[in-house]
């Protein structure tokens, strides 16, 4: 009887540990992002073509925890508060939209995150 009880406890502990490990793994899969006009954009560190940069949208207003996606407009989980965000001059023909962000005096591309769920 004791062996059976110990075996059940070990299986239960391993199951709970597995759930925590999986949740932690999922949490660390969150991309660096900024939210603009209700859409999330993944920060790419891809240098921007200055000819494609359009109107100034605004600055990052809030910074959330690194491992959660932004929920409000002009919120980011990586960019510093005050980072400037710009629209693309003309919409690209692809489905994903592009915005630009400025960091350390340079401008970079952020591409829209398309959810597949």
Enter the DSSP assignment of 1.
Answer: -
Position 1 scores a pLDDT of 80
Position 30 scores a pLDDT of 80
Position 91 scores a pLDDT of 63
pLDDT in tens, 28-87: 678 899 999 999 999 999 999 999 999 999 999 999 998 888 999 999 999 999 999 999
Q: What's the burial of 108, exposed, middle or buried (CB within 10 Å: 0-12/13-18/19+)? A: middle
Report the predicted TM-score, pTM, of the whole model to 2 decimal places.
0.73
Spatial separation of the C-alpha atoms in residues 41 and 110, rounded to whole Å? 5
Spatial separation of the C-alpha atoms in residues 62 and 54, rounded to whole Å? 23
Pairing label, strands 53-59, 62-63: unpaired
CB atoms within 10 A of CB 78: 19
User: What band does 26 get if pLDDT is binned at 50, 70 and 90?
Assistant: low
Answer yes or no: is pLDDT of 2 > 60. yes
């Amino acid at each position: 009887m004791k062996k059976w009880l110990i075996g059940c406890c070990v299986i239960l502990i391993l199951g709970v540990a597995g759930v925590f490990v999986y949740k932690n793994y999922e949490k660390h899969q969150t991309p660096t992002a900024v939210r603009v006009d209700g859409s999330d954009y993944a920060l790419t560190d891809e240098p921007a073509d200055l000819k494609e940069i359009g109107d100034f949208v605004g600055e990052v207003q809030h910074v959330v925890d690194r491992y959660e996606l932004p929920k409000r407009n002009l919120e980011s989980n990586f960019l510093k508060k005050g980072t400037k965000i710009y629209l693309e001059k003309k919409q690209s023909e692809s489905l994903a939209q592009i915005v630009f962000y400025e960091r350390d005096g340079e401008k970079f591309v952020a591409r829209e995150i398309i959810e597949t769920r």
